[in-house]
Amino acid sequence: MVARGSEVQPSAVRHNTPQNAARRSQRRGAGRLVGLGVGGAALLALLTGCDVGRTFHGFGWPQGGVTPEANKMYSLWIASVIAALAVGVFVWGLIFWCIIRYRKRGEELPVQTRFNMPMEFLYTIAPILVVAVLFYYTAVVQTDVNRVSKNPDVTVEVVAFKWNWQFNYRDGVGPDANTIASTLGTTEVVPVLVLPTNRSIRFEETSKDVIHSFWVPELLFKRDLFPGKIRNVFEVEKLQTEGAWVGRCAELCGTYHSMMNFEVRAVSPEKYDRFLAAKREGKTTQEALEAIGEPPLATTTHPFDTRRDEQNFNKTSAAGVGN
């Protein structure tokens, strides 16, 4: 028998006949195959649509995405967690198996195996394979999320300022296009960004002062808005469902950062066209929303009280100042 690698065999090795060694080797091979099979089955279960994510509450990732991009990012996360768990279970299994199988049984030194080439090879190749697969799927999803088209169906310019939003409906892409209708948020009225379902939407973002961040949790995605000439652009293939979702500023931008809320209202394409026509006729966003049978004000959030009124103004310390 040719020893695998350089097995150091102490004098008191138990039953180390060639037949036993071959049997052990077969068992090891079978164990590896079982491990790989379990990992593969877990991934296959996911890829074939088994809704593991819902069962485990998205493994911490927000659920309820409303765009194809959001759902792809969600699936990537779920698949990554399952792959990590499969590897984790395999490694934990090996650890506990070793602890029990090779616990100390006496003073006798067990077989010392070094330079086991198949094992060394596996240790090197397996992590590279895992990283390569994760990298591949991440690159695919990232490319998809960042993809922008030449002619999106709808283009909205998002302008952030301390501490509210302006949404400009544009007649084309880029800074040279014209604004055909606009919605401006105020302290009293939360701005409602009306968008159609089933149409591609391009967001072109810019800021008037500091860095803000456009975040609608249901898009499972947020993008910073920068002052100056930078236009941060992203697109969604479509909004898959009608509904209203709160949007927020996700970049600390000053005193009233936490109050920079807005609402995205997804309506049918036909309603959207009527909304835009009403806006172009000169109606306010609230009037145009009423004209298409939608609630005129935001339904998911409300204007915040800045508490800058007479009642809570510190009159005592202000006594004697002015009138």
Residues found near Cu ion in the complex (CB under 5 A): 212, 249, 253, 260
Nearer to Cu ion, 257 or 274 (CB): 257
The span from the CA of 152 to the CA of 274, in Å, is 19
DSSP at 13: -
Nearer to Cu ion, 77 or 163 (CB): 163
φ and ψ at residue 206, rounded to 5 degrees? -150, 160
DSSP at 257: G
Nearer to Cu ion, 164 or 197 (CB): 164
The span from the CA of 277 to the CA of 290, in Å, is 13
Closest approach of Cβ 173 to Cu ion, in Å?
24
φ and ψ at residue 129, rounded to 5 degrees? -65, -45
Closest approach of Cβ 308 to Cu ion, in Å?
19
Give the burial string for 78-91 (b: 16+ CB within 10 Å, else e).
Answer: bbbbbbebbeeebe
Nearer to Cu ion, 86 or 160 (CB): 160
Closest approach of Cβ 207 to Cu ion, in Å?
8
Closest approach of Cβ 252 to Cu ion, in Å?
8
- The DSSP result for 270-314, as a single string, is HHHHHHHHHHHTT--HHHHHHHTTS-SS-SS--PPP---STTTS-
Closest approach of Cβ 217 to Cu ion, in Å?
16
Nearer to Cu ion, 168 or 197 (CB): 168
